[in-house]
Structure formats: structure tokens, C-alpha cells
Chains A and B, each alone.
Chain A
Amino acid sequence: MADNGLGHIVPKKTYLSIFLALIFLTVVTVWIAQFDFGVLNIVIAMFIASIKAGLVAMFFMHLKYEDPLTWVYVLFPLFLLALLIGGVFLDAPFR
């Protein structure tokens, strides 16, 4: 945290780099979707989406500079979501 002011001030250059990285990854997602990797297509698409989401959260939403309590607020719903999706796939395929 910066001493003066309330929150962390991120250099504007960082924001520009993140913006360009997000656009670049969008192009990569579109480009790679034209190839058929079978079941891997969705895995690759979600992997790239997660990198993009991570960049947005860490830098645009300043999560990188947040305290552990905020991280608990972020990770706990993701854990619940994993439980939900995991639970659904443990159940539905065997009906």
C-alpha cells in the first residue's frame, strides 16, 4: 500500500499493458477456436479465459494489493462454485 492516499496507485503503464494483453488473448482465443482439438477445445478456451479473468482481477480490480480477508471473500465463492460443478458431474453422468 502507498503511504499517502487510501489505496494502492498502479502505474498507468501497467493498466495499458494489461489492456493490450487482454486484447491479445482475445485474438488468441478466436484464432485457436478454428482448430479442432476435440475435447481439448473447451479446456484451452476456459484456460485462456481464466488467465484473462486473473489479469482483470489482479490488476484492474487491484486484488494483487488486497489484504488476506479480501482474498478469502474471492476464493470462498470459487470453492463453492467448484463444489457445485464438481457435484453436478459426479451425479448427472451416472443417472
Chain B
Amino acid sequence: MSEHVASGPPHVHHMDAKTAYSAAKLGMWLFLATEILLFGGLFAGFAIYRWQYLSEFAHASEHLNWKMGALNTAILIFSSYAVVLGVDAAQHGENKKVKKWMLVTLLCGCGFLVVKFFEYKSKYEHGLFPGTVDHITNIAFNSPEFNAQYKMFFGLYYCMTGLHALHVIIGMGIIFWIYLLAKKNRFSTDYYTPVEVGGLYWHLIDLIWIYLFPLLYLVG
């Protein structure tokens, strides 16, 4: 990852502040480019199997709770809003406000993961999670009797949302690091690179979910 570019002390002398800021940002955009392709592979996989098993994917999708998905969409959109307010505070050198908005973002991240936990838990209880058994039909998820197309849908669902949740957890680590820097009053109008660059990472997490939600929960 490219965060280390931004983590140096504010007075690195091998380039001026503006160049250092732009270089750090460009580094993050390059990293985000690899992220788009990482998730892109999964999106391509989902697209082709959805095309192949259209009705099975639509039925499997009905097992997902769209209300929980919508709630998580709202949580992530609000968290992105909190991050930009944090960036704005940093641009004005208001470290206290940066701290506040990073805490709000962390709470949103926690909320998202709690909702996700209950969603996974419900799948676990209904035998729709790898290694579990449906207690009504007694069909194990891993057995050949389990509908192969359903298995493909849920396999992709767990890969995509699992990888996304991992990004939320890593993103929360970065947001917490920004919080600690703000606590030390490190940001000023001349230096707020970590907030802007860390914010870019957080927005990408929001951006990927913006596609995952309708794809998995609404149209299947």
C-alpha cells in the first residue's frame, strides 16, 4: 500500500509540501486502480454466472435481507460524508473536529460490521453458509444435493462481501491512525495528506458497496 508515502513527518525536505501532497495522492489513486481490478475480477465472475443462471441467481438473491443491505448502504454513505467533513476540518487545521469526524466514521464502520455479522449469522442458521446444514431439508451446503447454482451465488456473495468487509476493517485501522495523528495536533493548513489520502481509501470502500448492494440484494 502507498500510505507510507504520506506517513512521514510534515517537514520532509526532498520535495516541497505541495509536490509531496500530490505525489502521495497519486500513489493512493494508483493503489485504488489495483483495487478496482481486484474487485473487478469478482464482478466479471458474478456477471457471467448471473447471465448463465439468471433465474437461480434471482431466487438465491431473495434469501438476502435487502433492508439490512439498504441500512448498510446508508451507514457507508453517511460515513463517507463524515470523512469529507473530517478532510474539510483538516484543511482548516481544526484537529479537534478531525478527531470527532474520524470517531463518527469508526462508529459507522462498527455499525456496518455488526449488521454484516447478523446477516452472515442468519445465513449460517439457515444452512446457506459453507459447512452448515439446512435443518428443515437436512441438505448440507457442501453436499452435491445442494443446488449448484445457489452455491455459486452464495460463493460469490461471501467472496465479494467478505473481501469488502476486510477492506472496511483495514479502513477502520487507517481512520483510527488518522484519529491518533489528529490527537497529536499533527494537521494544519499546510499538512493534511493522511486525512485526504486515507479518505480516498475509505471512499473506495463506499464506492464498491454502492455496486454490491443493488447487484446482490436487489436484482440478484
Contact = CB atoms under 8 A, between A and B. Distances in A.
Given A46-B214, A56-B80, A73-B33, A92 B48 contact: yes
A77 B203 CA distance: 17
B18 interface: yes
Interface in B86-109: 88, 91-92
Contacts of B215: 42, 45-46, 49
Interface string A50-75: 00110011011110001101100110
Interface in B34-81: 34, 36-37, 40-41, 43-44, 47-48, 50-52, 66, 70, 73-74, 77-78, 80-81
A93 B191 CA distance: 52
B125 interface: no
B23 to A, nearest CB: 11
Interface residues of A, number: 48
A30 B218 contact: yes
Given A7-B21, A92-B52, A81 B37 contact: yes
Contacts of B88: 9-10, 12, 15
B189 A48 contact: no
Contact of A6 (B17, B78, B200, B206): B17
Given A26-B70, A29-B214, A61 B203 contact: yes
A85 B47 contact: yes
How many chain B residues sit at the interface, stated as a range, is 35 or more
Interface stretch (B24-32, B131-139, B151-159, B168-176): B24-32
B21 A23 contact: no
A15 B44 contact: no
B219 A41 contact: yes
Interface string A1-25: 0001111011010011011001100
B84 interface: yes
B210 A56 contact: yes
5 smallest beta-carbon distances between A and B, as pairs = A45-B214, A33-B218, A77-B33, A19-B81, A81-B40
Interface of A: 4-7, 9-10, 12, 15-16, 18-19, 22-23, 26, 29-30, 33, 41-42, 45-46, 48-49, 52-53, 56-57, 59-62, 66-67, 69-70, 73-74, 76-78, 80-81, 84-85, 88-89, 92-93
Given A81-B40, A81-B44, 18 more contacts: A5-B190, A6-B17, A6-B91, A6-B192, A7-B25, A18-B81, A23-B77, A30-B218, A33-B66, A33-B219, A45-B215, A48-B214, A60-B84, A73-B26, A77-B34, A84-B41, A85-B44, A92-B48
